[in-house]
Amino acid sequence: MPTTLPLPMSQLSDEVRREGFCFVTADVMQPLLSSMGTLADWPDFAQSWDHLGPDPYLAAKGRFRRRRHATYTAQANGTVALAPHQAHYQSLQYNALQGDIERWFEPIDPAVANSGSLHTILAFCNDFFSTLAAHVADWHVEVHQFRIEASVDAAGEPTPEGSHRDGVDFVLVLLVDRHNIDSGTTTIHTPDGKPLGDFTLAHTFDAALIHDPRVFHGVTPVTPLVPTEPAHRDVLVVTFRAKP
């Protein structure tokens, strides 16, 4: 198991230990990812957001977004492997809007789930989060592709459940694309609501790294800059939870 991280990763891990989160700009994040593996297939990876299915559970609440989901297993600082497709579950404690139900989403396309870009992202997460939790031997990993669409009639809601925790150990939120949208500001709070910081994922590869047990996070609604044109915010969310 490595005992040190490259300097930028070490600085980021120190910030997460100290603050419970950090915002990573694209000019830092993209080289860090490239140091872990290939991003050669990134254009195809990003284009896969054009083929996400609707979230039927959110639609039942009168809201709309698109998503796909996959699960992996990871050995700390080691192998990451795709697991059989399974439900996504959160308790009401962590998701007051859709908790205590098994939610079955369309699986991430196999070509995307096994792509070089996604495995590079997962390798980065495994190294980074395993260093922050050296006692963990194995991880349960979930990957979510999200597209939030906005129109002149309805703002897009990246976090319709409001400021929340995900009920995991660590979270990566990575911006893949944003087109013709305004706002979408990430806000970080203490459990009692004290604001700790805010930032906007504005460029491809901008990212947030979050120690979920310590802080709450949310994202403000997005609206179109040009009302007559399509508008969307595409993100990849990766969560790591220690296996018992």
CA distance 90 to 107: 18
Average the pLDDT over 184-201 and give the result: 95
Q: What is the mean pLDDT of the chain?
A: 89
CB of 26 closer than 8 Å to CB of 204: yes
Q: How far is CA 23 from CA 106, 196, 240, in A?
A: 29, 12, 18
CA distance 59 to 108: 20
**Least confident among 6-10, 42-46, 61-65, 214-218:** 61-65
Report the Cα 181 to chain-centroid distance in Å: 19
CA distance 228 to 234: 19
| pLDDT tens per residue across span 59-89 | 444 356 899 999 999 999 899 999 999 986 6
> What integer pLDDT is reported at residue 101 of this predicted model?
75
Complete domains list, the chain, with CATH: 7-242 (2.60.120.620)
CB of 169 closer than 8 Å to CB of 131: no
The whole-model pTM stands at: 0.91
